[in-house]
Structure 1
Amino acid sequence: MKKIQMGFALVLSGFLGLVHAVTLPGPVVSADWLAANQSEVQILEVRGDVISYTRAPEFDVDKKTGKKFLVEVGGHIPDSTLLDFKKVRADRIIDGKKIKYLIPEKADFEKIIQAVGINSDKPIVLVPVGLDISDIDEALRAYWQFKVYGEDNLAVLDGGMAGWLSEGRDFSLAASTKSSGTWVGKGERKELIASSEQVSAASKSGKSTLIDARQPAQYFGLNKRDYVGAYGHIAGAKELAPELLAKPAKGALYFWDKNTYNALFLANGMNPKMPAISYCNSGHLAAGGWFVMSELVGNKATKLYDGSLYLWTLEGRPLVGVPLN
């Protein structure tokens, strides 16, 4: 009888745990939502500047209004853990060549995520710095990799750490002491990754929208990153400049609503309902175009070209741009 009662208690406990488990409201959560549900989620801060995790934030005071404003992000949300963006991507051997900036193999990505203490039993909220679209795209690149490996219980903090601090919320300077986690991928969604052949086919046919997520000067071929082998953009691609992807407010960057993104895509000559492929120089900024089109607009036929123009030009494929003097 006691065994039956104990078994029933365990089943009831598990059921109640499911009932009380928090549900993410969508791919983006607000600081208010996170503050109210902080103990129910895992908070993963994604940063290239890892020193800032334990460095005090800097504030200044507006001499006219006397209001304090954020100058530099530092510290982190209490009980969060840190993911170094430099470890998010990896070198991989493709057709006998060493290719940089690619998504790690599934087992390698699992080790990276486990090492920072993330488990499989709770929702994950990714926190960018939130001051620049490039740092937001660090979190979005990690988000995309999680999605590739089957993780759906995932969201991004709107405004990032900059918004959190600007609203006067609590922060910590303590180093993360979390033990190794248990997170494992639930699958591999290869349909989220575009190959060079698929990008080439899209360029020729126009049946998929090619989103160039770089600055206009790079799109038109006026300058380039040193690791990209040519100037310009892939023929047929439309530009969606990084600065269009978020709005500045309260000392941080925040996402627009779906209607605004739809209008931005249409204004830039892109049909938000067509299949799409997002690319940039290496696959970092491309995560912004992918996230907006796939997760915020809801076009699930959207891929990210991993390796982007670094890989494209390494393979000797052409770009087009304006004539240079």
Structure 2
Amino acid sequence: MKTLKYLLAAGFVGACVQLASAATLPGPLVTPQWLHQHRSEVTVLDIRDDMDTLTRAPKFEVDKKTGAKKLVATGGHLEGALSVDFGKIRQNKEIDGKKIVAQLPSAEYFTKVMDEAGLDKGKPIVIVPTGETVDTMDMATRLYFQLRYFGEPEGQVAILNGGVNAWLQDGLPVSTAKVGAPKGDWAATGEDKQILATLDQVKEGLRSGADQFVDARPTPQFLGIVVKRPVDAAGGHLPGARSFPTDAIVRPVGAAHEFMSAADYRKIYAEYGIQPGASTVTYCNTGHLASGAWFVDHEILGNSKTRLYTGSMTEWTNLGNPTVGLPG
């Protein structure tokens, strides 16, 4: 009995120590300096699609007059980071006899990908993209969305604003060592349907007019001037959708790209006719860029009525649903 009491007490103390050693994330975004100070208290998940850059040294140009360094090429990763290949976090599916690429994965599939990356449960997670472009920042938001969807609670996941490039521009060191970790024990614990819009819900939202639709693709794709084939079967956009184009989602800061303040986004929304606080569905081609729009509306602006249509235009058009815009 004494042994049992000792083990229970030891387990309780261990759990308390683990909780005490975990950082409290300041919000959905963290700065390089905050992460540098709390590095040992969080799990860092590096996400990118060019895995060669993990072990490639960054490149700088040095001003001969001032000696100031300017980052010109991303390279390296935060020491101790776990590595996730963006190409692996989504799943191709067959829907109504059609192959639809880059869809929201099953819980089992996503758990496997996260465990193979070495992710363990328990610590807060900070996702670190390279930060080179809006596309890379939206890789982070898509992973953020999936972690939240599959059970990570609010306040347990954040993104390093500006990614590796912002880290380097703050003069912080990176590693070029090979990344590897033992298999992790993270597991999907549920599905938060409140942040997801399904195909049927999109149809109903369009029919009833109850939802605001926000298109997060480049303007030429929104207008139908450019069609992203073969991903999409048709060009244009959902009837009545508002454009929130990719180049308005983040701000370039040197070689990094950073999300802005809530006040900035409210001004941008006013320019594009997007209603803050409305029941909103964001979409793009495959739910990649739209995850950035979802992150802005749901996490930065605090609109709990925002959902991501992960199927986006690739599901919508390949299943024969209508769009508006220039014929293509």
> Would you call these one fold, judging by a TM-score over 0.5?
yes
Return the offset for 1:199.
1.7
Query: CA offset at residue 26 of structure 1?
Result: 1.0
Is residue 144 from structure 1 mapped to residue 148 from structure 2 by the alignment?
A: no
Q: Which runs of 4+ in 1 moved over 6 A?
A: none
CA gap of 1:12–1:299, structure 2 versus 1, over 3 A, is same
Matched residue, 2:257? 253
What SS does structure 2 have at the residue aligned with 1:125? strand
Q: Take 1:316 and 1:9, find their aligned partners in 2: how far apart are those partners?
A: 60
Instruction: State whether residues 70 and 166 of structure 1, in contact with CA within 8 Å, keep that contact through their aligned partners in structure 2.
Output: yes
Q: Deviations over 1:168-198 (max 9, x none)?
A: 2111011123100000112111232212222
Of residues 253, 256, 262, the one that matches 2:266 is 262
Residues 321, 78 of structure 1: CA spacing in aligned structure 2 closer, same or farther, 3 A cutoff? Answer: same
Deviation at 1:22, TM superposition (A): 1.4
Matches within 5 A, 1:1-325: 3=3, 4=5, 7-63=8-64, 65-152=66-153, 153-227=156-230, 228-322=232-326
CA distance in 1, matches of 2:22, 2:198: 38
Alpha-carbon shift at residue 64 of structure 1 (Å): 5.2
Percent sequence identity over aligned pairs: 39
Q: Distance in 2 between matches of 1:6 and 1:99?
A: 51
Tell me how far apart the structure 1 counterparts of residues 196 and 269 of structure 2 sit (CA, whole Å).
21
Contact 1:203 1:237 (8 Å CA) reproduced:
no
Of stretches 163-172 and 198-207 in structure 1, the one that deviates more from structure 2 is 198-207
Conserved 8 A contact 2:210-2:279: yes
Instruction: Name the Cα RMSD after superposition.
Output: 1.7
Structure 2 unmatched ranges of 5 or more: none
User: Is the partner of 1:311 in helix, strand or coil?
Assistant: helix
- Rounded to whole Å, the distance in 2 between the matches of 1:76 and 1:8 is 39
TM score, norm. by length of structure 1:
0.94
Query: Once the 2 structures are TM-superposed, how far is the Cα of residue 247 of structure 1 from its aligned partner?
Result: 1.4
Residues 206 and 236 in structure 1, CA contact (< 8 A), matched pair in contact too: no
- CA distance in 2: counterparts of 1:141 and 1:13, whole angstroms: 33
CA 168–94 in structure 1, closer or farther in 2 if over 3 Å, else same: same
CA distance in 2, matches of 1:9, 1:313: 57
Deviations 1:275-317 (A, max 9, x none): 1111111111111111111111111111111121111111111
Give the 3 Å change call, closer, same or farther, for CA 201–98 of structure 1 in structure 2: same
Q: Distance in 1 between matches of 2:308 and 2:8?
A: 47
- Is the CA contact (8 Å cut-off) linking 2:128 and 2:140 kept in structure 1? yes
After TM superposition, give the deviation of residue 5 of structure 1 in Å.
Answer: 5.5
Contact 2:46–2:77 (CA under 8 A) maintained in structure 1: yes
Deviations 1:129-156, CA, capped at 9 Å, x for gaps: 1010011111111111111101121110
Deviations 1:102-146 (A, max 9, x none): 011101100100001100011111001101001111111111111
SS at match of 1:303: strand
**Alpha carbons of structure 1 residues 138 and 5: separation in structure 2 relative to 1, 3 Å:** closer
Does the aligned pair in 2 maintain the 1:114–1:181 contact within 8 Å? yes
Q: Post-superposition shift, 1:96?
A: 4.1
Task: Say whether the 8 Å CA contact 2:98–2:319 is kept in structure 1.
Answer: no
Matched residue type, 2:238 = I
Q: Give yes or no for contact 1:210–1:278 (8 Å, CA) kept in 2.
A: yes
Is contact 2:250-2:258 (8 Å) kept? yes
Q: Aligned equivalents of 1:80 and 1:108: distance in 2?
A: 22
State how many pairs are aligned.
Answer: 324
1:228-269 deviation line (CA, Å, top 9, x unaligned): 111211110000011111112243111111111122123211
